[in-house]
Amino acid sequence: MDKYALVEKCHNRHHKKSVLRKVMAIAMTVFVVLAGALSGAGNAIYAWALTGDELLEANRAIPVESNQVPNWPQGPIVGAESAILIDADTGVILYEKNVHEREFPASTTKILTCLIASEMCEDDEVVTFSRSAVFDTPRDSNNIAIDVGESLTVLECLQAILIRSANECAFAVAEHITGSDWQSFAEVMNNRAKELGCVDSNFVNPNGLPDDNHYTSAYDLAQIGRAFFADQKLCDITMTPRLHIYPSENQPDEIIENSTVLILPGKTYEYEYLVGAKTGYTDAARSCLVSCAEKDGTRLICVVMKDEAPNQYLDTISLFDYGFSNFYSANVSETETKYNISTTGSFYSGVDVLGNSTPILALNTQDCIIVPKTVDFADLDSEISYDTNDPMEAAIITYSYHGVYLGTAAVEFMAQGDGYTFDELPSSVAATEVEEVEVEEEKVVFVNVTKIALYVGAGVASLLIGFLVVKGIMNYRRRHPNWRAEWKRDRRRRKNGKKYLTIHQEAKQRKAAFMEEGRRRTRGRKRISKRLGENGPSNHYRIK
């Protein structure tokens, strides 16, 4: 075979191998694409299975803990995996379902971020967007398309976060507060969460983007919500249906975005008593909603987590209606009938040592507790604790029902003025109720004020003894001077060439002069008496 034929053979063999490699590469690519497509389809089918009716039924089968309390109002069965309804003022839990289950909060995280920003920043502070704040935000997540180097005020950032759920604004606010990167803001979030009473949370970012280590619970979000919805500015922002940011020298675009929260006024699931709301959604977290509503002076906070749209709105509305319909706020000073003072005689006597004749203890007239309408106030359990740090409080009464906390009332030292006193029942209490209380003596709890009287008496006695001791020391030093100190003092004066009399020498000299004056007058009287005796009374005018 000549060399040309050999070259041609080698060339054909190389060409065949090259074609084979290309075919194998194409086949591998097709296989990977098909595998990815099948995997995606499988995930889609699996996700559909998780988000369908089967998931809702599984969630509805989870027991509602509050429904298991005897004679407690039966709450609705919701499709959320965990849900809670609390009274915003007292923190009393009205409805609880799986409230400590660890859940992904999604964008409901932003209520904590905005709360911290509102507490630590002024509204007109300027927030400049860094590269990390912009580019760490996924393109398919919520944003308002701010560019690197542009700036907004803190208030505009809060509006963008709460109305449009803008993730880059949450990153930028976090960096503004820490002065460094947004990752450092997690420590600030976790510390503030603990201060608010959270027990199940760990936050790693300011906006709730998916992270396995970023989680919380319905209970914790309710505690954060108590502080968040207490800020009227933040409530007003969440109720705003449209974000409108005007161009400025730091940001050239006019930004207009609509809120996607469907429970707001004018939306599909509007709720007339709503005062604020924040939604959240990711594939892992599903639909979440933290909201607050107020009716007839009662403010409730509702949290539903891992629900299916639009059930997060329907479940929230049913929980609010349940709370407003089945519970009421009871003023303890106007309702309580079983507390009185067992040692009233210690504070009333013929001698008014306290300066007045009114009782010294009274229930705080503002303290209220939350009571189910299915339960009588007299059936509540109560416990008195004298462990209080408030100097104006003598004790704290804690109310509960079958172990469910309902609130507290303070027993205060009473000043002159009106107030509910322990030895008088409110005028609103009927005579029949008074008789029932007197019959059921085992339910009467007495405030032990003997200790209080002893403490007060011991304090007064200590002050009196101290005063007498100081007075005695002063008198003793006045009557028994320190002669050695006086001698040293005189010696120093003499060395300095100063002539003077000491205090005691002056006193002695004054005493001697007084006695000499007395003797002189005595001698004068004797002379006058002698002359009167010699010349007789009629010649007394001759005395010179």
The enclosing H or E element of 219 equals helix 218-228
Choose, from 97, 110, 306, 338, the residue flagged as catalytic. Answer: 110
Q: How far is CA 3 from the centre of its chain?
A: 93
Based on its alpha-carbon atoms, the radius of gyration of the chain, rounded to whole angstroms, reads 43
Measured CA to CA, the distance from residue 228 to residue 114 in angstroms comes to: 8
Measured CA to CA, the distance from residue 41 to residue 63 in angstroms comes to: 33
255 Rama sector, left if φ>0, alpha if ψ -120 to 50, beta otherwise: beta
The answer to whether residues 243 and 131 touch, using CB atoms and an 8 Å cutoff, is no
The enclosing H or E element of 338 equals none
Residue 432 tokens, joined: 């029949």
Choose, from 66, 82, 107, 291, the residue flagged as catalytic. Answer: 107
Measured CA to CA, the distance from residue 220 to residue 234 in angstroms comes to: 19
Rounded to whole angstroms, what are the CA distances from 371 to 64, 336, 379, 408? Answer: 19, 13, 10, 12
Helices 110-120, 185-195: axis angle to 10 degrees equals 90
435 φ, ψ to 5°?
-65, -40
110 is catalytic: yes
The enclosing H or E element of 322 equals helix 311-326
278 is catalytic: no
Which residues, in sequence order, are bridge partners of residue 385?
Answer: 396
Q: Looking at residue 68, what DSSP letter applies?
A: G
Choose, from 118, 165, 217, 291, the residue flagged as catalytic. Answer: 165
Residues composing the chain: 544
Amino acid letter for position 376? D
Catalytic residue IDs: 107, 110, 165
